[in-house]
């Protein structure tokens, strides 16, 4: 697995974060406000694989996987009511993406420890109605694989999405995110303008978490007012 040098700021990772936020927002605008515009949901397919890849990077760079998990799970519970309101569903009928990513942390941690318990997140994703379900966990697994065995991970990710074409409408278009992720893996996504680290890294970090429930509430409010 590629090593993480804490002294080198990864501007490509920053770019991926903003791209994930932008495509997620476009997706949710389509979901909440303009469901008739399919192009918004198609653009939004890029968000989940990028967020999943960022999770893989996060697990590489974190010094405390347990704290990372608790933070993710905390925002999962915090986001569930906004998520349910935005989707107009009962609160626990379907669980938001933070729950999926929380299972992804357990998956990656278990894989890194060569622990058979990596199966548990997959079983949980079938039993518990998390967003993207077992597809989401498999996506995280294959992206994790790409960090060590790039083309093996690519082959599995592409194959899985191609197999879904007859069943999953536009979800296989998530593969559109793959070239962007590969650019980062190959070190081609760093930009000079983004290389300066923020003065308040904790505030920036929590912004990316807090944005999810906040923007869902804002979009829901716009729908109600409109």
Confirm whether 113 is domain-assigned: yes
Question: Count of domains in the chain?
Answer: 1
Q: Which two structure tokens, joined as six digits, stand for 73?
A: 């799970």
Confirm whether 80 is domain-assigned: yes
Confirm whether 2 is domain-assigned: no
213 has a pLDDT exceeding 50: yes
Q: Which two structure tokens, joined as six digits, stand for 91?
A: 């609160």
How far is C-alpha 96 from the chain's CA centre? 11
pLDDT band at 220, cuts 50/70/90? Answer: very high
Question: C-alpha distances in angstroms, 138 versus 16, 85, 87, 150, 223?
Answer: 20, 28, 24, 15, 34
Of the candidates 8, 7, 31, 11, the one whose C-alpha atom is nearest the C-alpha of residue 19 is: 11
Q: Structural domain of residue 152, as residue ranges?
A: 11-225
Confirm whether 1 is domain-assigned: no
48 in Cβ contact with 21 (< 8 Å): no
Confirm whether 54 is domain-assigned: yes
Confirm whether 158 is domain-assigned: yes
Q: Is the dihedral of CA 168, 101, 198, 27 positive or negative?
A: positive
How far is C-alpha 6 from the chain's CA centre? 22
192 has a pLDDT exceeding 60: no
196 has a pLDDT exceeding 90: no
pLDDT band at 7, cuts 50/70/90? Answer: very low
Q: Which two structure tokens, joined as six digits, stand for 1?
A: 């697995």
Specify the pLDDT at position 199.
60
pLDDT band at 21, cuts 50/70/90? Answer: very high
């Amino acid at each position: 697995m590629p090593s993480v040098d804490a002294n080198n700021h990864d501007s490509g990772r920053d770019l991926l974060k903003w791209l994930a936020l932008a495509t997620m927002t476009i997706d949710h605008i389509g979901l909440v406000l303009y469901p008739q515009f399919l192009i918004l949901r198609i653009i939004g397919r890029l968000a989940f694989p990028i967020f999943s890849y960022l999770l893989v990077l996060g697990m590489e760079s974190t010094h405390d996987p347990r704290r990372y998990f608790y933070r993710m799970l905390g925002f999962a519970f915090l986001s569930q009511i906004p998520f349910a309101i935005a989707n107009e569903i009962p609160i626990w009928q379907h669980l938001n993406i933070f729950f999926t990513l929380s299972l992804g942390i357990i998956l990656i941690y278990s894989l890194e420890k060569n622990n058979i318990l990596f199966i548990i997140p997959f079983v949980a994703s079938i039993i518990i109605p998390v967003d993207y379900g077992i597809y989401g966990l498999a996506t995280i697994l294959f992206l994790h694989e790409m960090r060590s065995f790039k083309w093996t991970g690519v082959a599995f990710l592409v194959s899985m999405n191609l197999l879904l074409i007859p069943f999953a409408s536009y979800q296989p278009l998530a593969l559109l995110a793959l070239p962007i992720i590969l650019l980062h893996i190959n070190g081609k996504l760093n930009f000079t303008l983004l290389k300066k680290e923020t003065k308040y890294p904790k505030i920036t970090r929590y912004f990316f978490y807090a944005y999810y429930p906040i923007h869902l509430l804002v979009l829901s409010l716009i729908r109600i007012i409109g």
